[in-house]
C-alpha cells in the first residue's frame, strides 16, 4: 500500500520586487481533488488581482490563510497529498504524457517561480486556467455523481468584480447569501450594500445611552471609539513606497499656467465620425504632450540609480494615471509617440476599463518615461502632483470649465483649464520646463495648427 505524500505549495517569487500578496478568495476547499495548473485562489498584489494556479495535483489537505490575509513570498499557501489511485486523473491527463505539464515542471525545477497567471508564461498559464476551470466546474471525480449539498459547497458565487468582493468582506456580508441582480447574473455593488443594510437592521440596537452592547467593548483612542482597523493592501503599500521614495529623493519644482482651451473644446466635437465618439480630451492633450516632448526630450528621460547620468530615450512610454476603487494605478502606453489620436483614444479607453476592473497585467504597469494625470476628471482644477519615480516629470490637467477671459481687451466667456508640470530640478531648470509647457499651451490654444501633423 502506497502512503500519500504531502506537498506544500509556497507563494512563489512574484517578480517586480513584490514580496507579498493579499488573499482575495479561495476557489477550492480542503478535500477537493485538483490538477496541475488548476486555479486555486485569487490574490491581490501591488499591481492587480491575479489568479493563482497550483503546481501540484492531488487532494487538498490544508489551506493556509483566509480571505483578507496577507501571504508573504515563500509562505505556505496550501498542502496537497497524492490522490488515491481511484481518484487519479486519466493517463492522458498525467504529466508524464502532457508536454505542457512537463515543460511547466521543468520550469519549476529551474527555479523560475513564474506560476502566477499574469506574471509568467501567459499562453501556457491561460491554457492551464481554462483546463482548470473546466475541471473545477465538472469536479475531479466525474465517474461519481455529486449530491446536492456537494454541488452547493463547490458552487462559485457570481462575484466577478474583486472590488465588490472586497466590499462584501469589509461589510461582513456572506456573498453566498446575496441575491444577484446584475444583468449577467453577477452580484453588484448595490446588491452588497442592500444586503449589508438588511444585516445591520437585523442586529440588536444599542441602548439610548450609546453604551456598547452587553459583553462587548470597543477600543478607544483619544476619547474616540475605533470603528475599524484595516491593514494596508499590498497595492496601497506599493503606492506609498513609490511616492515616499519620490518625495525623499527628488528635488522637485512645479510650474503651472492657465490655458484657453475653447478652440480645442469646439474642434473636438467636430472630430466624431458618423455614428462614433469624438476622441477624449485626455487623448488630445496626450498627443500634444507627446509632440512637445519630441522637442523637450529631457522631460521623458530618467536619472541613473546613483543620479550620475541622465538616461535619454528615443521616444516615450506614456503613463496615464488612473484613479480606481483599489487605488492609483499608472497604466502605460508603450511607444506612445508612434500612435495617432484615434489609436491613443482607443488604447486609453481600454486601459481605463481594465484598470477599473482591477485586472491590469503587471507588464502594462511598468516602463513609463513620462506621466500624464487628468485630475480634472475628478472635478478639481489643480494639484501639486508627485513624480512617478523613476521618471523626472509629470503633467497634470485640471477641469476645462467656462470662466471669464480677456480677449482683445474684452471680457468674454471661454473654456479654460490649468496645466501644472512637476519636474526633477536635477535634470533641467525652469527655463526648459517653461518652454515645454508653453509649447503644450500653444498646441491646445491653436489645435488646427497641430492637426495637420497628427
- Catalogue the active-site residues: 425
Cis peptide before 216 (omega within 30 of 0): no
Amino acid at each position: 500500500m502506497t502512503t500519500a505524500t504531502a506537498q506544500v505549495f509556497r507563494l512563489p517569487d512574484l517578480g517586480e520586487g513584490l514580496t507579498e500578496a493579499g488573499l482575495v478568495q479561495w476557489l477550492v476547499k480542503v478535500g477537493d481533488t485538483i490538477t496541475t495548473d488548476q486555479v486555486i485562489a485569487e490574490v491581490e498584489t501591488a499591481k492587480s488581482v491575479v489568479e493563482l494556479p497550483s503546481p501540484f495535483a492531488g487532494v487538498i489537505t490544508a489551506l493556509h490563510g483566509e480571505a483578507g490575509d496577507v501571504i508573504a513570498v515563500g509562505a505556505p499557501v496550501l498542502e496537497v497529498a497524492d490522490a488515491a489511485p481511484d481518484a487519479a486523473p486519466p493517463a492522458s491527463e498525467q504529466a508524464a504524457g502532457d508536454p505542457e505539464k512537463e515543460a511547466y515542471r521543468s520550469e519549476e525545477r529551474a527555479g523560475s517561480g513564474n506560476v502566477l497567471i499574469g506574471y509568467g508564461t501567459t499562453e501556457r498559464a491561460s491554457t492551464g486556467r481554462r483546463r482548470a476551470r473546466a475541471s473545477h466546474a465538472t469536479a475531479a471525480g466525474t465517474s461519481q455523481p455529486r449530491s446536492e449539498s456537494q454541488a452547493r459547497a463547490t458552487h462559485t458565487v457570481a462575484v466577478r468584480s474583486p472590488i465588490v468582493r472586497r466590499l462584501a468582506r469589509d461589510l461582513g456580508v456572506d456573498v453566498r447569501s446575496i441575491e444577484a441582480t446584475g444583468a449577467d447574473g453577477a452580484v453588484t455593488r448595490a446588491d452588497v450594500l442592500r444586503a449589508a443594510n438588511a444585516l445591520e437592521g437585523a442586529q440588536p440596537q444599542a441602548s439610548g445611552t450609546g453604551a456598547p452592547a452587553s459583553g462587548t467593548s470597543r477600543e478607544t483612542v483619544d476619547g474616540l471609539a475605533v470603528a475599524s482597523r484595516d491593514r494596508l493592501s499590498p497595492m496601497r503599500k506599493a503606492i506609498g513606497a513609490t511616492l515616499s521614495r519620490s518625495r525623499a529623493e527628488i528635488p522637485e519644482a512645479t510650474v503651472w499656467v492657465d490655458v484657453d482651451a475653447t478652440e480645442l473644446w469646439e474642434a473636438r466635437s467636430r472630430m466624431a465620425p458618423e455614428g462614433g465618439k469624438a476622441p477624449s480630451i485626455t487623448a488630445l492633450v496626450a498627443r500634444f504632450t507627446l509632440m512637445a516632448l519630441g522637442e523637450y526630450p529631457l522631460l521623458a528621460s530618467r536619472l541613473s540609480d546613483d543620479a550620475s547620468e541622465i538616461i535619454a530615450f528615443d521616444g516615450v512610454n506614456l503613463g496615464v494615471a488612473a484613479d480606481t476603487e483599489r487605488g492609483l494605478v499608472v497604466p502605460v502606453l508603450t511607444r506612445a509617440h508612434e500612435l495617432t489620436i484615434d489609436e491613443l483614444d482607443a488604447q486609453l479607453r481600454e486601459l481605463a476599463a481594465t484598470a477599473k476592473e482591477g485586472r491590469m497585467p503587471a507588464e502594462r504597469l511598468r516602463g513609463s518615461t513620462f506621466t500624464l494625470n487628468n485630475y480634472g476628471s475628478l472635478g478639481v482644477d489643480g494639484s501639486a502632483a508627485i513624480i512617478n519615480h523613476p521618471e523626472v516629470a509629470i503633467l497634470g490637467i485640471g477641469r476645462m470649465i467656462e470662466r471669464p477671459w480677456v480677449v482683445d481687451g474684452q471680457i468674454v466667456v471661454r473654456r479654460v483649464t490649468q496645466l501644472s508640470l512637476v519636474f526633477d530640478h536635477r535634470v533641467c531648470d525652469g527655463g526648459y520646463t517653461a518652454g515645454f509647457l508653453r509649447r503644450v499651451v500653444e498646441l491646445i490654444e491653436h489645435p488646427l495648427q497641430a492637426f495637420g501633423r497628427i
